[in-house]
Structure 1
Amino acid sequence: MKIQAAPFSKPVLFFIIPSLKGGGAERVIISLANYFNKNNFQSVLISLNNDLPAYEIEDGVKVFYLTDRQKSRLAYRMYHIAETFYKLIKLLRTLKPVCVLSFITSANIWAGITCWLTRVPYIVSERTSPDRSVISFNYLHKQLALSLYKRAASVVVSAKGVEDCLLKDKDFKALNNIERITNAVTIFQSPSDEKVHNRRFILGVGRLAYVKGFDILIEAYAKSGLTDVDLIIIGDGEERANLVCQIFNLGLRERVLLPGSRNNLQDYYSQAEMFVLPSRNEGYPNALVEAMSFGCPSIAVDCNFGPSEIIVNGENGMLVKRASISGLADAMHRLAGDETLKTNLGNQARIISQTNHPDKILGEWETLMKKHAAATETAAQLTNSQPAL
């Protein structure tokens, strides 16, 4: 990675994340980098790991990959830590951003340490349940995170539940710099008229990871008795082999499909009988918001966090008690057989296209970023105007 001072004519913003290879946080931070780069800033995307981006990064956005973590032995880990630290410090000192935004806890820690050392204002963002991240850390690691979060210009959360979870902790309850900005609706191309599947289908979308709960969805589908409706789960991830085994053991090979990632999600959302979010934990689920924006009747497990802030049960979707496979199966069976309910839920779900419109959400990010970037530029101007002693 070559780091050279660039003659940028616009103020520089850094966007730091552990990886760009896929997921809701990655989609959001890339959309932010694209947005600011078109609005009087130079965006610099920094991925801590060397992974190909899953979403389109527009021309003009600079991208840096810091390290390639392929080996886990202690010597390699120490090398990657030193490499990440050196490259981040060099980027900050060379490109001189007016503000840094980081997503996900590990990137937040790196941004906090290096920005504190280089005196660059930074904003961190928790994208999922703090119980699974900063609150679960050992004492020293937790105190480091707390110190860095207190020094941040803002700690941004995507859902009230995430904020409440942070503030219930005896250490993090001292934070007074929390801002809440939900996720925007993704703007897709218009759906195609070409069918993506030759039968009616239920849709799940997300990374094939344990936390996403697709094993719960498959089991609930098996119990639902819906033999005339298939289940399609779009996404890739480390749980694929386990899910394939589960599908085989349940005798569902012909009716449960795992086609991998798809770049025409709009066609699936617009053609599905319903969308189901079975997650064990969330931050603010992008896939649920996307499905609802297409008027797809949606069912979500009432997990921490997000679904209960998006769905009003029985009005614009259905919420199911967490850990209730039978409840999820019953909800799917009920919705599949009630056309009136599907129509009513779908019509109300579409309203999220207005409440979470990108213009509104990106505008909130712009206000926050400009506030701290302006403070930086003002301080620099005052420093430069001081007479030499």
Structure 2
Amino acid sequence: MNIPAAPLSKPVLFFIIPSLKGGGAERVIISLANYFNKNNFQSVLISLNNDIPAYEIDNDVKVYYLTDRQKSRFVDRVYHITETFYKLIKLSRTLKPVCTLSFITSANIWSGITCSLTRVPYIVSERTSPDRSVNSFTYWHKHLALFLYKRAAAVVVSAKGVEDCLLKDKDFKSLSNIDRITNAVTIFQPASDEKVHNRRFILGVGRLAYVKGFDILIDAYAKTGLEDIDLIVVGDGEERATLVEQIAKLGLKDRVLLPGSRNNLQNYYSQAEIYVLPSRNEGYPNALVEAMSFGCPSVAFDCNFGPAEIIANNENGILVNNGSVKGLSDAIARLASDQVLRDELGSKARIISQTNHPDKILGEWEALIKKHAATSAITAQIASSQPAL
């Protein structure tokens, strides 16, 4: 890790996340780093783990990987903790950030510890259900997180459900520094006319992980009995082999396709008959927002959290009781056979391109960081800059 010998010329912002290898949180933090780097800041993107980035990072954004966690022995974990702590402190003391923004609980804790020691304002963000993270921590781990979250300039959540879940915990209900900023619509290159599939298809997009529920989607698709429309799930992850086995057992190898990750999602969204979000839980699902922005009629489980804040049931999409295979199957079959309904839902879904436009969402992040960036002189310098969207 090559750290400059002196502070950088522009006000520095740190963006810290556990990994850059893929997912909604990674996409959002990279887009923020790219945005602020164009607006009189020097963005420094810090990944706690050494992974290949899944999304494009602008050339001028400085990227640091702190450690390579390949082994799980106790002595290796101690080494990785020591290495992470040392490198974060060194980066902070050398580059002197005016503010640090971190995503996901483990990065939030590292950011809070480092910034408390180096006296840098910091903002943390919970990106998924707190019941899967801070609310489930052991006593000492939870109270460390609570201490650091209370000291943060802000605790940002992407959905009201995430905020409500965090505050329902008796320890975290005293937090008074929560801000809610939803995710912006991803701006893709224009869709092309090149066909991604030679038949009608239903689309799922996301990491092939248990929490994303693609096993439920495959079961629901099988129960529809539809023969004139295929299912394509774009993405990769640790559940691929399990899903391939499930597809084979159901006799759907020619009808359910797992093409892996793709860099032309705009073509899939624009050509799909239906988009389905079968997640067991979420934070604020980027892929659902993306699909709707293309006018793709969408079905989603009413899971924690996000879909119910995005979809008004039977107006701009369809919400299904969380985890109901039959409910999901019925909704897919209903949409697949009703072109008028698909057109109506898709037309209203496009409005999300305005409500979640990047100008609006990035502007909210910019206002938050300007409010908390260190020193009045730097704040004045930032405030005088003109955004370069």
Same fold (TM over 0.5): yes
1:8 CA drift (Å): 2.3
**Which string of whole-angstrom CA distances, capped at 9 and with x for unpartnered residues, describes residues 121-149 of structure 1?**
10000000000000000000000000000
User: Structure 1 residue 162 and structure 2 residue 162: aligned?
Assistant: yes
**Which string of whole-angstrom CA distances, capped at 9 and with x for unpartnered residues, describes residues 187-239 of structure 1?**
00000101000000000000000000000000000001111100000000000
The CA RMSD measured in Å over matched residues stands at: 1.3
SS in 1 for 2:362: helix
Q: Contact 1:102–1:123 at 8 Å: present in 2 too?
A: yes
1:9 CA drift (Å): 2.2
In structure 2, distance between residues paired with 1:129 and 1:167:
12
User: Structure 1 residue 319 and structure 2 residue 319: aligned?
Assistant: yes
Q: Contact 2:373–2:379 at 8 Å: present in 1 too?
A: no
SS in 2 for 1:20: coil
Q: Contact 1:131–1:165 at 8 Å: present in 2 too?
A: yes
Alignment of 1:143-154 (within 5 A): 143-154=143-154
1:59 CA drift (Å): 1.5
The change in CA–CA distance for 1:232 and 1:27 in structure 2 (over 3 A counts) is same
User: Structure 1 residue 275 and structure 2 residue 275: aligned?
Assistant: yes
- The letter for the 2-side match of 1:126 is E
In structure 1, distance between residues paired with 2:374 and 2:120:
12
In structure 2, distance between residues paired with 1:324 and 1:124:
34
User: Structure 1 residue 8 and structure 2 residue 8: aligned?
Assistant: yes
In structure 2, distance between residues paired with 1:25 and 1:13:
17
Matched with 2:24 is: 24
Please, which runs of 5 or more residues in structure 1 have no aligned partner? 382-389
Aligned length: 381
Please, which runs of 5 or more residues in structure 2 have no aligned partner? 382-389
The change in CA–CA distance for 1:68 and 1:270 in structure 2 (over 3 A counts) is same
- The letter for the 1-side match of 2:156 is V
In structure 2, distance between residues paired with 1:117 and 1:376:
21
In structure 1, distance between residues paired with 2:115 and 2:376:
13
In structure 1, distance between residues paired with 2:22 and 2:321:
28
Structure 1 vs Structure 2: percent identity of aligned residues?
81
Matched with 1:264 is: 264
Matched with 1:346 is: 346
**Which string of whole-angstrom CA distances, capped at 9 and with x for unpartnered residues, describes residues 10-68 of structure 1?**
10000000000100000000000000000011100000000010100002100000000
1:3 CA drift (Å): 1.5
- The letter for the 1-side match of 2:102 is S
- The letter for the 1-side match of 2:92 is L
- The letter for the 2-side match of 1:165 is C
The change in CA–CA distance for 1:173 and 1:376 in structure 2 (over 3 A counts) is farther
Runs of 4+ more than 4 Å apart: 374-381
Matched with 2:356 is: 356
1:377 CA drift (Å): 4.7
Matched with 2:248 is: 248
TM-score when normalising by structure 2: 0.96
1:344 CA drift (Å): 0.3
The change in CA–CA distance for 1:134 and 1:350 in structure 2 (over 3 A counts) is same
Q: Contact 2:153–2:177 at 8 Å: present in 1 too?
A: yes
Alignment of 1:177-196 (within 5 A): 177-196=177-196
SS in 1 for 2:85: helix
- The letter for the 1-side match of 2:12 is V
SS in 2 for 1:15: strand
